[in-house]
Amino acid sequence: MAAPILLLGSGKMGGALLRGWLARGIAAADIAVVEPNAEIAAAARALGVRVAGAVADLPAGFRPAIVVLAVKPQILSQAVQPLRPLVGPGTVVMSIAAGKTIANLEALFGPDAAVVRAMPNLPAAVGRGMQVAVANAKVAAAMRDRCDSLLAAVGEVAWIEDEALMDAVTAVSGSGPAYIFLLIECLAEAGVAAGLPAALAMQLARTTVAGAGALAFEAKEPAAELRRNVTSPGGTTEAALRVLMADDGLRPLMVRAVQAATARSRELAG
């Protein structure tokens, strides 16, 4: 393995990253996975990568160039302890564990560790994720480029210099898919209340939200311009937007929601 990647955890997000890497042309032989769950491990093994149930099961002398931590935040400390001997001066540790700061990771791997903290989101599972990352001072340019390439395999990537912004990033893009799923639920329920059959209402809501999202992604115009393009004066859309854009409408509600998620992210980070 010339420049091996070690993925700790191949569940939903870890598995999405793994599939994205393979789709981008990274050789399966250059990836090793540590996954204790037998069912999840079998799914990773079916992709052709080396899978170990524990760090101790990796080949003797194995030294990864990149360690990607894709385990739940509450078990991170326990899970990474066996990894410490594998992390040397040329290794970069990239964590996608929500709420775990660079300081948390440096405490686990040592103050000289090269650490990247990243926040992906669920659409990474279909290659349309939004990944935001921040690096400590030990991360060399080549390390950062490699991490960027791995994150870009499942969507767009943005880098920030101020780690404090990660709480707001988590609130907007990390938690954001749940807000959109709730919008689909509410739109479908409103359709039922207006007389539509439930199945049709859900089909309309899902397809409309997905299509509008795809259009917003591809369009050069800002979202506000796209909204205005759909809104005919005196028409049905304008009538609905009067409600949604009222002083007590969607905007202040979304601000409060993001503020609540941001505050909780700070609490979880300690």
How far, in Å, are 63, 209, 242, 257 from residue 182 at the CA level?
A: 44, 11, 21, 12
What is the DSSP code (8-state) at residue 177?
H
CA-closest candidate to residue 125, choices 19, 4, 270: 19
- How does strand 31-34 pair with strand 114-119? unpaired
Q: Looking at the domain that runs over 174-269, which CATH code has it been given? A: 1.10.3730.10
Please report the sign of the dihedral spanned by the C-alpha atoms of residue 167, residue 101, residue 62, residue 37.
Answer: negative
Q: Residue 258: CA atoms inside 13 Å, Cβ hemisphere, count?
A: 16
Report helix angle 198-218 to 223-230, nearest 10: 130
Q: Looking at the domain that runs over 5-163, which CATH code has it been given? A: 3.40.50.720
Q: Are 100 and 78 in contact (CB under 8 A)?
A: no
What does each of the 270 residues of the chain score in pLDDT, given as a tens digit?
A: 446 999 999 999 999 999 999 998 999 999 999 999 999 999 999 999 999 999 999 988 888 999 999 998 889 989 999 999 999 888 999 999 888 999 999 999 999 999 999 999 999 989 999 999 999 999 999 999 999 999 999 999 999 999 999 999 999 999 999 999 999 999 999 999 999 999 999 999 999 999 999 999 999 999 999 999 999 999 999 999 999 999 999 999 999 999 999 999 888 776
Read off the amino acid at residue 256: R
| Interior/surface letters 227-237, b for 16+ CB within 10 angstroms, e for the rest | eeeeeeeeeee
Per-domain residue ranges of the chain: 5-163, 174-269
